[in-house]
Amino acid sequence: NAGVMQNPRHLVRRRGQEARLRCSPMKGHSHVYWYRQLPEEGLKFMVYLQKENIIDESGMPKERFSAEFPKEGPSILRIQQVVRGDSAAYFCASSPRDRGWEQYFGPGTRLTVT
Amino acid sequence: AQKVTQAQTEISVVEKEDVTLDCVYETRDTTYYLFWYKQPPSGELVFLIRRNSFDEQNEISGRYSWNFQKSTSSVNFTITASQVVDSAVYFCALSEWGGATNKLIFGTGTLLAVQP
């Protein structure tokens, strides 16, 4: 059973460009969580999605950030007009429908904004 | 509001020493989960242990042990006979149980350096 997949593993963007981060949950998992780890800090919750629904986006910055988890395909975290402060590691986790506390983390995407 | 505090930012030990990582949490929930994760220099998150708030039994798993004190809202993690490969950042995390969201609240981590 493949684990949580994230791609790309490393992403470099210039200021003002868009960044798209992808997360494929474990097989059978219908819930996805995104977390951000700024340099030298712990992970901070961003958003929790189920298929075609955003359940909790209380940790998402109000502007430029969006997330989706379509019926088919991976979950996407999209950052528009990136700024240097967006440089961070972005982790995705997935869980089974009935065990939300059982989160399995992907390897992360390291975003660098130049 | 939920909060996790790891007061130790860095710990350095010599190989084979025992080391205890401290974690204190705050929550209004009566039921919750507590977790420890390890983040080695390669950057991935490695799950170590998960316990629910009903289970206050201390646990030993190989060189790892866990001391959960609900009365003081603390959950400490001990590595016995540390090894260089244990060098990593260790995160404590908290999650509500059965709520609308199971987001994890992480502490800021403790950097453990095990010297040969």
Cβ B106–A100 below 8 Å, yes or no? Answer: no
Q: Alpha-carbon distance A63 to A65, whole Å?
A: 6
Return residues 33-52 of A near B (CB < 8 Å): 33, 35, 41-45, 48
pLDDT in the model for residue B1 = 76
Q: Smallest CA–CA separation between B104 and chain A, in Å?
A: 7
pLDDT in the model for residue B52 = 84
For B2-54, write each residue's pLDDT tens digit.
899 999 999 999 999 999 999 999 998 888 889 999 999 988 898 888 888 88
Spell out which residues of chain A touch residue B108, defining contact as CB-CB under 8 Å: 41-42
Q: Provide the 10 A C-beta neighbour count for residue B99.
A: 14
Q: Alpha-carbon distance B52 to A15, whole Å?
A: 43
pLDDT in the model for residue B21 = 97
| A94 contacts chain B (CB < 8 A) | no
Q: Smallest CA–CA separation between B97 and chain A, in Å?
A: 7
pLDDT interval class at B84 (50, 70, 90): very high
CB B53 within 8 A of CB B33: yes
E strand or H helix at A93: strand A88-95
Average pLDDT, chain A: 93
For A19-69, write each residue's pLDDT tens digit.
999 999 999 899 999 999 998 788 999 999 999 999 999 999 999 999 999
Q: Alpha-carbon distance B94 to B26, whole Å?
A: 9
Q: Smallest CA–CA separation between B56 and chain A, in Å?
A: 18
pLDDT in the model for residue A1 = 53
pLDDT in the model for residue B51 = 85
Q: Please count the residues of chain B.
A: 116
pLDDT interval class at A12 (50, 70, 90): very high
pLDDT in the model for residue B112 = 97
pLDDT interval class at B108 (50, 70, 90): very high
Cβ B95–A101 below 8 Å, yes or no? Answer: yes
Cβ B100–A55 below 8 Å, yes or no? Answer: yes
pLDDT in the model for residue B50 = 86
